[in-house]
């Protein structure tokens, strides 16, 4: 799925109507969670049961009925997503919190599927046809939604962000098949110095815009607290801060997407370290760079493009990958500040490149041994299309609320 995003231009009363639809979505989602929680043990509440429940809610509440029926289903599907995620975490015995579904208070979007809206045949305008009375709004942006047949548009989502309302189209472009251009094998090592270093000796620079933006964001944040509470100026400062945040999130996403696409398009096997990013962010010294490099975002896009280009992406256990010699296997102790790997066998490599080669070797071993045994230290990726869309959007709306 490709997501095309436009800014929405409408009248105040139309924005209020969008807010109302967003509120209804949250209501349905939370009702569905409650329904699942309260269901007797012997009753199986699955995706279909929740779907049926949305029909029941439509009979009960007028304002639910006003929302397009497929949009109501989308709302219960959201509930199902968080329930399913919880079940998966329990099943895979994920350490720590299992993420028991919670009631949402800050929903910012409503999602239509293939009905409840119609695109203007020539102009960039969309009309929402259900009884929420959003009506026709203008779409501002450079993407050309008209270049895709309407039947390719699977979802239309209205999102409230810091600087206004946006309309996102999820377009199914898998039909437009694009194939991999090469069958390379690549190991990636996340460093502090670079965004990543690969097993071919290439270093991908850290995006500087993030460092710069970070400073600006911090400054904007301080401004908020200098203004008096509840006053207009404070609200304005808040908005400035949120806008800056939003901009960085977009840049970060685009950067991760672009890189992940290149990597998957040229390689049949991609290996990376299965870093516990959550654990690492706790480590203060590393926190900045880990957040900066947006590693987890990159990882998600890797999964996405892996599926698209039929690339095998594996996460390997990073233990010893930086200490081991990628040539002879000897352990060469080094501290974080040692930048070169120098082994008695004559192997001399930049530290991260040595690690990247080790990572690739681990992945190869795992791949070759997989038929014989269930390789240890190998984690196969599970994220796929639909949930990715969900997650990426969540990332997008993560910027602070107004
Ligand atoms: Zn060696």
Other C-beta atoms closer than 10 Å to the C-beta of 218 total 12
User: How many H helices and E strands in the chain?
Assistant: 11, 15
Dist. CA 187 → ligand 1 center (Å): 18
**pLDDT at residue 57 tops 90:** yes
Most confident of 68-72, 250-254, 338-342: 68-72
- The count of other CB atoms within 10 Å of the CB of residue 81 is 17
* Residue carrying structure tokens 């944040």: 221
Range name among 35-49, 330-344, 375-389 with the lowest pLDDT average: 375-389
Q: Which helix (H) or strand (E) holds 292?
A: helix 284-293
What pLDDT was estimated at residue 370? 62
160, 111 Cβ separation under 8 angstroms: no
Predicted local confidence at residue 266, as pLDDT? 95
In the numeric block, the tokens 């269901």 are attached to 39
Q: Which residue has the higher pLDDT, 149 or 199?
A: 199
The backbone torsions φ and ψ at residue 376, rounded to the nearest 5 degrees and listed phi first, read -85, 155
| R_g of the chain, CA atoms, integer Å | 24
Ligand 1 centre to CA of 379 (Å) is 27
Whole-number Å distance, alpha carbon 344 to ligand 1 midpoint, is: 6
Q: For residues 126-155, give the mean pLDDT.
A: 85
The mean pLDDT of 256-264, rounded to a whole number, is 89
Distances from the Cα of 161 to the Cα of 154, 394, 400, angstroms: 22, 11, 9
For residue 253, report the distance from its CA to the centre of ligand 1, in Å.
38
Q: 381: CA distance to ligand 1 center in Å?
A: 31
**CA dihedral (365, 366, 368, 371) positive or negative:** positive
Q: Which residue has the tokens 């207009």?
A: 232
Interval between CA 378 and ligand 1 midpoint (Å): 24
Question: 353 C-alpha to center of ligand 1: Å?
Answer: 14
pLDDT at 117 exceeding the cut of 90: yes
Tell me which DSSP letter residue 206 carries: P
**What's the average model confidence in pLDDT over 154-178?**
85
Q: What local confidence, expressed as pLDDT, does residue 348 receive? A: 95
User: Given pLDDT bands bounded at 50, 70 and 90, which one contains residue 396?
Assistant: very low
Calculate what percentage of the chain has a pLDDT beyond 70. 83
Cα of 337 from ligand 1 centre, angstroms: 20
Please tell me the predicted confidence (pLDDT) of residue 147.
63
With cut-offs at 50, 70 and 90, classify the pLDDT of residue 375: very low
Q: How far is the CA of 331 from the centre of ligand 1 (A)?
A: 8
Find the mean pLDDT for residues 10-16.
97
The per-residue pLDDT for 143 is 60
Residue 376 and residue 51: Cα distance in Å, rounded?
39
> Distances in Å between the alpha carbon of 141 and those of 6, 74, 149, 397?
5, 25, 18, 18
Please say if the pLDDT value at position 224 is more than 60. Answer: yes
What pLDDT, on a 0 to 100 scale, did the predictor assign at position 292? Answer: 54
**pLDDT number for residue 32:** 96
How, if at all, do strands 203-204 and 125-128 pair? unpaired
The CB density around residue 261, as the number of other CB atoms within 10 Å, is 17
pLDDT for 219:
85
Q: Could you give the 3-state DSSP secondary structure of residue 66? A: coil
pLDDT at 397: 34
CA angle 237, 242, 244 (to 5 degrees): 100
Lowest-pLDDT range of 214-218, 258-262, 324-328: 214-218
Q: Where are the beta strands (DSSP E) in 99-247?
A: 109-112, 117-119, 125-128, 135-140, 153-161, 164-171, 184-189, 196-198, 203-204
Strands 312-316 and 267-273: parallel
pLDDT(379) > 50? no
Three-point CA angle 21, 26, 29, nearest 5°:
125
- Whole-number Å distance, alpha carbon 352 to ligand 1 midpoint, is 15
CA dihedral of residues 196, 201, 204, 206 (deg, nearest 10): 60
pLDDT at 386 over 50: no
pLDDT of residue 276: 62
Identify the weakest region by mean pLDDT among 153-162, 284-293, 320-329, 340-349.
284-293
Residue 342 CA to ligand 1 center (angstroms) comes to 8
């Amino acid at each position: 799925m490709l997501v095309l995003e436009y800014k929405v231009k409408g009248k105040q009363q139309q924005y209020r109507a969008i807010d109302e639809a967003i509120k209804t979505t949250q209501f349905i989602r939370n009702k569905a969670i409650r329904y699942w929680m309260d269901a007797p043990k012997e009753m199986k509440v699955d995706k279909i049961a929740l779907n049926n429940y949305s029909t029941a809610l439509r009979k009960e509440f007028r304002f639910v009925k006003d929302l397009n029926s497929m949009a109501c289903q989308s709302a219960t599907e959201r509930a199902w997503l968080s329930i399913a995620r919880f079940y998966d975490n329990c099943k895979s015995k994920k350490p720590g919190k299992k993420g028991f579904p919670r009631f949402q208070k800050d929903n910012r979007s409503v999602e239509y599927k293939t009905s409840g809206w119609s695109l203007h045949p020539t102009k960039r305008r969309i009309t929402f046809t259900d009884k929420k009375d959003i009506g026709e709004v203008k779409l501002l942006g450079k993407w050309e939604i008209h270049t895709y047949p309407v039947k390719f548009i699977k979802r239309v989502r209205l999102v409230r962000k810091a600087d206004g309302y946006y309309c996102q189209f999820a377009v199914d472009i898998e039909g437009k098949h694009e194939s991999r251009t090469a069958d390379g094998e690549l190991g990636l090592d996340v460093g502090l110095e670079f965004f990543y270093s690969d097993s071919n000796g290439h270093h991908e620079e850290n995006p500087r815009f993030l460092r710069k933006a970070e400073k600006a964001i911090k400054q904007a944040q301080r401004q908020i607290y200098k203004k008096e509470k509840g006053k207009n100026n404070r609200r304005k400062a808040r908005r400035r801060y949120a806008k800056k945040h939003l901009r960085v999130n977009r840049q970060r996403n685009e950067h991760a997407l672009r890189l992940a696409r290149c990597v998957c398009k040229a390689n049949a096997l991609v290996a990376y370290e299965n870093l516990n990013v959550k654990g690492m962010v706790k480590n203060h010294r590393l926190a900045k760079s880990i957040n900066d490099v947006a590693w987890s975002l990159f990882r998600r896009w890797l999964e996405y493009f892996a599926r698209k280009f039929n690339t095998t992406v594996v996460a390997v256990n990073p233990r010893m990958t930086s200490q081991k010699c990628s040539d002879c296997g000897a352990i060469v102790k080094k501290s974080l500040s040692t930048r070169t790997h120098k082994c008695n066998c004559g192997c001399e490599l930049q530290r991260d490149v040595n690690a990247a080669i080790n990572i690739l070797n681990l992945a190869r071993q795992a791949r070759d041994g997989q038929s014989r045994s269930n390789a240890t230290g190998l984690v196969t990726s599970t994220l796929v299309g639909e949930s990715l869309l969900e997650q990426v959007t969540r990332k997008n709306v993560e910027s602070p609320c107004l």
